[in-house]
Amino acid sequence: MQNKIFLLDTLLYFDIFNYPLTLNEFHTFLIGKRISKRNLKESIRQERFIEAREGLYYLKGKKNIVEQRIFRDVISREKRKIAEDVVKWLAWFPSIQSIALSGSVACNNAKEEDDIDLFIITSPNTMWITRFFVYSFLKITGKMRGKKQKNNLFCPNMFLSFDSLEINQKNIYTASEILHLVPLLDKNSSFSCFLTINSWVTNFFPNTRIRRVELKKQIPIEMCL
């Protein structure tokens, strides 16, 4: 009973996105409560407002979102394969330190017509030139999303410089977006540094485990150039 409010808050939040949760996701994204997975499972069993199907948990009466998620999971995995092929080419840009999937594809909740969002970390002092080259590459190869065409096309919608990795908007939505990022390229542990610097996400999701790196031993700046 004492965990009811935390369970309800979590399911209500993800219900906004029509997103039922696996047990692992329920544990990772449980809002505001540190709890073992075993105790979480027992707490879920005691609550009548929670239903489960196909290993997915959701608010009672919302079983229709289960089939939707399963279908979108398949679509997202197909889009991920497309992204992996493009990232192999982008990895040749020396100023790109990390590339991760973000948005609906990273959450395995993409619709067929969705584009593929990319989160990119650049070397210090190269963010704008890197952005220019990434946009140019995607446009030249016909893989840049447009106003009307976006299915399986790319939207590099967030660039960060390695020397400025902290996210200023510290809210539950941003925290969820960060934890859903799927790194496809990680040079010099830059993505791990990003997570370490933004470990404030655990204030919202205390069951989250972040492998922290020692920032005092960061890679020399010249290795990023």
Tell whether 69 is covered by a domain: no
Backbone angles phi, psi at 215, to 5 degrees: -65, -25
Over residues 112-134, the mean pLDDT reads 96
State yes or no: pLDDT of 225 exceeds 90. Answer: no
Please give the Cα distance from 51 to 73 (Å, whole number).
20
Q: For the chain, how many structural domains are there in total?
A: 2
State yes or no: pLDDT of 144 exceeds 70. Answer: yes
Whole-number percent of the chain with pLDDT over 70: 93
State yes or no: pLDDT of 221 exceeds 50. Answer: no
Q: pLDDT at position 149, please?
A: 80
CATH number of the domain encompassing residue 154: 3.30.460.10
Domain coverage including residue 35: 4-62
Task: Identify whether residues 171 and 147 lie together within a single domain.
Answer: yes
Task: Identify whether residues 86 and 21 lie together within a single domain.
Answer: no
* Amino acid symbol at 83: A
pLDDT in tens, 188-199: 889 999 999 999
Longest alpha-carbon distance in the chain = 57
C-alpha distances in angstroms, 168 versus 46, 91, 159, 165, 197? 38, 27, 14, 9, 11
Task: Identify whether residues 56 and 116 lie together within a single domain.
Answer: no
Q: pLDDT at position 61, please?
A: 93
Q: pLDDT at position 106, please?
A: 95
Task: Identify whether residues 137 and 215 lie together within a single domain.
Answer: yes
pTM confidence score: 0.88
Confidence of residue 214 (pLDDT cuts 50, 70, 90): low
Task: Identify whether residues 98 and 181 lie together within a single domain.
Answer: yes
Confidence of residue 215 (pLDDT cuts 50, 70, 90): low
- Residue 92: CB atoms within 10 A of its CB come to 8
Q: Whole-number mean pLDDT of the chain?
A: 91
